[in-house]
């Protein structure tokens, strides 16, 4: 979910609660004091294990109810993994007028705390008015218990941390009273456990009735249990969700968790029970787990589904994440595993229900998986709108959210293009199948996912339930892909534990696999079975995860002769030897206990029964700095190598290599030929991996993930760094002379001054016989074609060509708008351009700012946007779609720049064609307008000689005959106080000579022909369409004018700049000489470099790059995430910057030795690095 949309929802409900915040696009509300979250019985945390999970009595889950922020953190006390989660249901309600209804919880909570006291029909001709307990009842709350609470004190570290998490403060700020409040709540909930309402308990005396004196509240064996009931009888809530009326469902939720180090300790278990108290049958009913996973930074997430193991998941699209960097950790993964689905009749089967087996039924598995993403073609179902019901019901049925059923497609992998109910079902660890952010899938970003199950019917009084495991996975010494693999292993363990009905598994105490001669493997395993007294007949069946390799069996012994300790101690040992096997293997463990056979599926997985490949003979094939064929500090190099197959039995059929620390699009290698058993393949220089060396130190390490025949291994290779002092001229940009065209996409940067030869180089651009632009380099001094048909790229790790010491960085410039500005007001030109767009909606603006009230005398803040439609989500992406007519107008827009000039002249006119009103091609309405539209040339904003006045076509939105603000709100900002103008179009007159002659000729034609004027006559069409100006926070549109301002003040000039890409036929000239080159290049990308020295005492230098002017915040944090000092918070020009930190905090006092993190924030760019202070 976009952060802006979240803020809108949060503010909306704050208004309903009676709080009014001053706000703007993207503002986030922060607590005004350190203690604002009560321990009140309405909301609480499942937090006894290594994961913390907010939940509230009205059904809201996974979101902090007090701050409106992310509400699930993993590992506990580190970064967030979920912004919000919930349950959504949909069914056809068979009342007098059967219809589809959808309810539950997503960003809006469609339920209210409390159970349904009186079942009955709610909406229908024979309504009997079902009634729920009052939400203000003292019983309509959330209950949380732990069986050991009586032995805890206010000084217990766990209770102190519990209080800190509830109150949103540091543990050092927790008072004795805070800790006592936690203990008091535990005691009150224990003594008032609502077993009579459905809360689970341990029936110690087996009499079927809850007896507080002997029975135990909560899930058997759990260390913490939470229970609450809510209902969907409030129509205002259900309509605010997806526009449906209530069904009449009671939802009972139980969460439980364990303070353990195994997979149970990484999990919150959740059982949802739905009770049909509507009085009607519910047909074709489906339910889903919905979630917005935010794994650290929300802008780089990806999602997927593991169908075989029955879980969906979110993880990070990259090896590092700025939020997890603050804790010195790689990003985690979060999973949603279905342990027990709803039940349906199935003769001969058995199903788990209410922790018991029920004969003649079966549990439904996952039916489908769906996802959607911010700003994508797969939209969020609209909130508060009946269309949302249709969208979401289609989603529950396995289709994309939309008005009609449309299947998902696999968009990467071998099944790309095929319809499916399980998109993104590939294996991220093995990098196989349909993977998010690969192929035609979206790049990493903000995601939502749903895991659905159904359908089934519910008669009045029926109960259905399902159980989920919300599990985190992380590999502290690994990366984001390792986190997924850890998550998968934990889900498999949890499923085995669930099936066993226990919270313990056999423990592998020894696992060794050796390859004595590289042709056979020898595997030894030792199992601790002491949690299963009386175990016998222990055996493991091994089968390949993929491919057609043979099955194997491994027997275990407890005889003291198989590396298993003493005989009869329930420690079991096994040994297996066989020829190497190509594919990874799973091991299913079987044993007998109490005459019952136990089977643990995939007890061990991903067994590698062959030697792993190796890389050797590394060689530098490209370097961006000194051309000395060695690694230098702060250098970007590309390394080629040989691939050795150390398996003497099996060929390496498929090999893919990836530098997991630098995941650029040009940073992987796929072998085109197999590597024979025991053989080596030398890669061509064009197959290489990127390595970025640190700026300090004499060595570095490259981590390479190698994927081969279903296996994945991570290899580490150390490299020495050769010191190098850059000579004068290094990094300078050579002068570029434009011979043809109006821009340059190429920066000739001096990489090695000693190799400059003084030659003259001609750069030309061609279209490569198609639509893709290419460039060529001709040495005019030697008369030699040096580069032919080279690519342009914005990839920071792209292998830009180097010629005679010059790195020619050919950057691809997209066809786009470049900046939305206000450059003048009634007082004349502004000292620096201000913003005329919503940066928070991704509009490019000066310094990435939103409009400033200082730019108008009356404080009005004006922003350029497009007119409102039902699909307008306020984003820059939607603006471009509408203004450019889906891209059709780009040739008329780029490369020109444009201005809206508010002159107030009496001869400024616009025209509303009847074609926009009645559909007639003749006639229209000529209207006064306070502005002029100008096309101001190509990159020449201060040269009026090429300015052409355009003519505005209009849509008088409110049909009042006046170009003015209309009393409707725009979606670009929250609340209802953003009126916008009538629409205007930028029409090109036939005469496009500089000046106003074309405008005047078209105006004269319209005035002369009157009602016979034909739409578009005298024009070359429109360059831009459907544009408006928004008066941001200008006044409540529900009450109407007066607003802060009626129009921008006379003298205001709004400027729209466009990108200036090169085109086929353009040519540039570069001279290979340093004379007269005084400047270093403007960086092409944002970057935060490693500090130097590191470790340091007492000072260190921090360096960063800005590709454009930006407001920059550079801050230092300690390992607890607390800000130590703000080193910078101001606007800086584009370029390379550095400053020195003296190791002092904001108060000017020296900080202690330890690990610190420094973070650079410039607009949407956020990067964090670690440094060490040694005093």
> Mind listing the domains of the chain with CATH numbers?
1-28 (no CATH), 31-406+442-473 (no CATH), 506-607 (2.60.40), 622-720 (2.60.40), 817-1058 (no CATH), 1087-1173 (2.60.40.4070)
User: Which tokens hold the place of 533?
Assistant: 């007294």
C-alpha pair distances (Å), 897 with each of 332, 843, 906, 942: 45, 16, 25, 11
C-alpha pair distances (Å), 1134 with each of 544, 797, 1127: 55, 20, 18
User: What gap in Å lies between CA 228 and CA 44, rounded to an integer?
Assistant: 11
User: CB–CB of 252/113 below 8 Å?
Assistant: no
Q: Is 1051 left (phi over 0), alpha (psi -120 to 50) or beta?
A: left
Q: Which residues contact 959 (CB under 8 A, 6 or more apart)?
A: none
957-960 contacts, C-beta under 8 A, 24 or more apart: 957/867, 957/982, 957/983, 958/982
- Report helix, strand or coil for 630: coil
C-alpha pair distances (Å), 655 with each of 319, 396, 581, 658: 20, 38, 16, 10
HEC states along 890-928?
HHHHCCCCEEEECCCCCCCEEEEEHHHCCCCCECEEEEE
Q: What angle, 0 to 180 degrees and rounded to 10, lies between the N-to-C axes of helices 387-396 and 235-242?
A: 70
pLDDT reported for residue 13: 28
Q: What angle, 0 to 180 degrees and rounded to 10, lies between the N-to-C axes of helices 157-167 and 176-191?
A: 90
Please tell me the total number of residues recorded for the chain in this structure. Answer: 1175
Of residues 881, 843, 1169, 1171, the one with CA closest to residue 1024 = 881
List phi, psi (to 5°) of 239.
-70, -35
pLDDT reported for residue 1109: 78
User: What gap in Å lies between CA 162 and CA 48, rounded to an integer?
Assistant: 8
Alpha helices in 453-544 (DSSP H): 480-500
- Report helix, strand or coil for 573: strand
User: CB–CB of 28/67 below 8 Å?
Assistant: no
User: What gap in Å lies between CA 935 and CA 900, rounded to an integer?
Assistant: 9
User: CB–CB of 484/315 below 8 Å?
Assistant: yes
User: CB–CB of 1161/1117 below 8 Å?
Assistant: no
- Model's pTM, two decimal places? 0.66
User: CB–CB of 85/61 below 8 Å?
Assistant: yes
User: CB–CB of 384/108 below 8 Å?
Assistant: yes
Tell me the mean pLDDT per 10 residues along the chain, length 1175: 29 27 26 44 94 97 89 96 97 92 96 92 58 92 96 94 92 93 96 96 90 92 95 94 95 95 92 95 97 93 96 94 90 97 96 92 97 80 93 97 95 95 94 92 92 96 97 90 94 87 79 94 94 94 91 96 92 96 94 90 90 95 90 91 97 89 68 95 92 88 90 89 86 86 82 90 86 90 93 83 91 88 94 92 88 91 94 90 94 96 92 94 96 94 93 94 94 89 98 96 96 96 97 92 94 94 88 60 77 76 85 81 81 83 82 79 81 73
pLDDT reported for residue 5: 30
DSSP character at residue 264: G
Planar angle of CA 793, 795, 800, nearest 5 degrees: 60
Burial of residue 1023, with CB atoms counted within 10 A of its CB: 0-12 exposed, 13-18 middle, 19 or more buried:
buried
Q: Which residues contact 328 (CB under 8 A, 6 or more apart)?
A: 1119, 1155, 1170
pLDDT reported for residue 122: 54
DSSP character at residue 261: S
Beta-ladder partners of 448: 372
Interior/surface letters 220-247, b for 16+ CB within 10 angstroms, e for the rest: eebbbbbbbbbbbbbeebbbbbbbbbbb
User: Which tokens hold the place of 975?
Assistant: 């609340």
User: CB–CB of 935/894 below 8 Å?
Assistant: no
pLDDT reported for residue 1120: 60
DSSP character at residue 235: H
pLDDT reported for residue 1150: 81
Please identify which residue in the block is written with the tokens 């009676």. 18
User: What gap in Å lies between CA 985 and CA 994, rounded to an integer?
Assistant: 20
157: enclosing H helix or E strand:
helix 157-167
Beta-ladder partners of 810: 746
- Give the end-to-end CA distance of the chain in Å, rounded to a whole number: 44
């Amino acid at each position: 979910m976009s952060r802006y949309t979240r803020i809108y929802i949060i503010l909306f409900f704050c208004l309903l609660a009676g709080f009014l915040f001053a706000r703007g696009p993207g503002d986030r509300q922060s607590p005004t004091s350190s203690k604002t979250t009560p321990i009140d019985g309405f909301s609480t945390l499942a937090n006894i294990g290594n994961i913390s999970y907010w939940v509230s009595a009205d059904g809201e889950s996974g979101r902090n109810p007090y701050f409106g922020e992310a509400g699930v953190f993993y590992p506990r006390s580190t970064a967030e993994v979920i912004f919000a989660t919930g349950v959504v249901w949909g069914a056809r309600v068979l009342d007098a007028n059967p219809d589809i209804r959808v309810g539950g919880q997503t960003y809006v909570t469609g339920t209210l705390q409390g159970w349904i006291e009186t079942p009955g029909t709610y909406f229908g001709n024979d309504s009997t008015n079902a009634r729920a307990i009052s939400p203000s009842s003292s019983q309509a709350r959330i209950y949380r218990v732990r069986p050991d609470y009586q032995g805890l004190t206010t000084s217990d570290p766990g209770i102190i941390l519990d209080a800190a998490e509830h109150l949103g403060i540091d543990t050092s700020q927790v008072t004795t009273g805070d800790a006592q409040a936690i203990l008091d709540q535990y005691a009150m909930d224990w003594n008032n456990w609502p077993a009579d309402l459905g809360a689970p308990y341990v029936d110690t005396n087996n009499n079927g009735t809850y007896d507080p004196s002997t029975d135990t509240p909560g899930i058997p064996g759990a260390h913490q249990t939470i229970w609450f009931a809510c209902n969907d009888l409030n129509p205002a809530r259900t309509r605010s969700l997806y526009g449906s009326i209530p069904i009449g469902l009671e939802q009972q939720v139980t969460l439980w968790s364990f303070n353990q180090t195994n997979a149970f300790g990484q999990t919150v278990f959740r059982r949802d029970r739905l009770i049909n108290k509507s009085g009607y049958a519910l047909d074709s009913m489906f339910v889903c787990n919905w979630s917005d996973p935010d794994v650290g930074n929300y802008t780089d997430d990806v999602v997927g589904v593991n169908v075989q193991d029955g879980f969906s998941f979110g993880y990070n699209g990259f090896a590092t994440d700025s939020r997890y960097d603050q804790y010195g950790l790689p990003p985690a993964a979060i999973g949603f595993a279905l342990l027990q689905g709803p039940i349906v009749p199935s003769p001969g089967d058995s199903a788990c229900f209410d922790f018991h087996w029920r004969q003649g039924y079966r549990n439904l598995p996952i039916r489908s998986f769906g996802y959607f993403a911010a700003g994508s073609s797969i939209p969020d179902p609209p909130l508060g709108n009946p269309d949302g019901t249709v969208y979401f019901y289609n989603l529950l049925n396995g289709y994309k959210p939309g008005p009609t059923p449309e299947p998902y497609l696999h968009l990467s992998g071998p099944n790309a293009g095929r319809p499916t109910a399980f998109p993104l079902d590939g294996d991220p660890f093995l990098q196989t199948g349909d993977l998010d952010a690969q192929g035609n899938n979206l790049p990493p970003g903000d995601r939502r996912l749903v895991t659905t199950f159904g359908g089934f019917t519910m008669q009045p009084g029926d109960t259905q339930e399902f159980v989920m495991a919300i599990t985190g996975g992380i590999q502290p010494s690994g990366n984001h892909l390792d986190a997924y693999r850890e998550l998968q292993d934990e889900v498999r363990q949890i499923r085995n534990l669930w099936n066993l009905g226990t919270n313990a598994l056999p423990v592998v105490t020894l696992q060794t696999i050796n390859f004595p001669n590289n042709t056979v493997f020898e595997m030894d395993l030792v199992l601790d079975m002491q949690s299963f007294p009386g175990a016998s007949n222990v055996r493991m069946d091994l089968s390949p995860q993929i491919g057609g390799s043979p099955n194997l069996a491994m027997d275990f012994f407890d005889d003291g002769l198989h590396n298993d300790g003493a005989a009869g101690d329930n420690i079991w040992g096994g040994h297996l030897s066989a020829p190497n096997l190509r594919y990874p293997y799973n091991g299913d463990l079987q044993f007998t206990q109490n005459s019952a056979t136990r089977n643990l599926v995939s007890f061990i997985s991903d067994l590698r029964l062959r030697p792993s490949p190796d890389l050797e003979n590394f060689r530098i094939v490209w370097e961006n700095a000194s051309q000395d064929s060695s690694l230098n500090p702060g250098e970007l190099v590309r390394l080629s190598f040989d691939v050795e197959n150390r398996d003497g039995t099996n060929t390496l059929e498929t090999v893919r290599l990836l530098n997991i620390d630098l995941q650029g699009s040009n940073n992987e290698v796929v072998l085109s030929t197999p590597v024979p058993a025991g053989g080596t393949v030398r890669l061509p220089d064009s197959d290489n991996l990127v390595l970025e060396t640190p700026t300090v130190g004499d060595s570095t390490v490259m981590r390479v993930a190698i994927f081969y025949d279903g296996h994945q291994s991570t290899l580490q290779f150390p490299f020495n760094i050769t010191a190098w002092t850059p000579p004068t001229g290094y990094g300078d940009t050579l002068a570029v002379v434009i011979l043809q065209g109006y821009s340059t996409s190429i920066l000739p940067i001096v990489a090695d001054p000693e190799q400059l030869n003084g030659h003259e180089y001609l750069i030309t651009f061609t279209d490569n016989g198609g639509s893709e632009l290419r460039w060529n380099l001709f040495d005019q001094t030697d008369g030699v074609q040096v580069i032919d048909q080279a690519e342009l790229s914005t990839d920071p790790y792209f292998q830009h060509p180097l010629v005679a010491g010059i790195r020619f960085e050919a950057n691809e410039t997209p066809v786009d708008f470049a900046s939305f500005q206000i450059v003048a007001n009634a007082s004349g030109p502004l000292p620096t351009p201000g913003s005329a767009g919503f940066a928070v909606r991704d509009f490019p603006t000066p310094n990435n700012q939103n409009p400033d009230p200082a730019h108008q005398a009356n404080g009005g803040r004006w922003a350029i946007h497009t007119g409102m439609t039902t699909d307008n989500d306020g984003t820059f992406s939607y603006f471009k779609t509408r203004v450019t007519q889906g891209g059709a107008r780009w040739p008329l827009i780029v490369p020109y720049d444009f201005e809206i000039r508010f002159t107030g002249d009496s001869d400024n006119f616009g025209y509303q064609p009847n074609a926009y009103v009645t559909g007639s091609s003749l006639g229209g309405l000529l209207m006064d307008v306070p502005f002029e539209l100008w096309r101001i040339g190509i990159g020449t904003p201060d040269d009026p000689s090429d300015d052409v006045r355009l003519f505005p076509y209009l849509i008088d939105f409110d049909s009042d005959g006046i170009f003015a603000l209309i009393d409707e709100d725009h979606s670009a900002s929250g609340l209802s106080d953003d009126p916008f103008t009538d629409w205007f179009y930028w029409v090109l007159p036939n005469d496009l000579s500089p000046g106003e002659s074309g405008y005047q000729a078209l105006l004269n034609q319209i005035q002369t022909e009157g009602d016979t004027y034909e739409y578009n006559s005298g024009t070359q069409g429109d360059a831009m369409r459907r544009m408006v100006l928004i008066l941001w926070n200008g006044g409540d549109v529900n009450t109407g004018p007066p607003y802060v301002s009626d129009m921008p003040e006379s003298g205001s000039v709004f400027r729209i700049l466009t990108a200036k890409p090169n085109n086929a036929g353009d040519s540039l000239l570069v001279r290979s000489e340093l004379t007269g080159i005084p400047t270093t290049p403007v960086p092409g990308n944002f970057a935060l470099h490693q500090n130097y020295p590191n470790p340091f005492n007492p000072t260190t230098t921090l360096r960063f790059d800005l590709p454009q002017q930006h407001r920059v915040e550079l801050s230092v944090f300690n390992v607890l995430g607390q800000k130590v000092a703000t080193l910078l918070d101001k606007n800086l020009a584009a370029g390379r910057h550095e400053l020195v930190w003296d190791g002092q905090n904001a108060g000017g006092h020296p900080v202690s030795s330890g690990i610190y993190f420094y973070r650079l924030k410039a607009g949407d760019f956020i990067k964090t690095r670690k440094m060490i202070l040694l005093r």
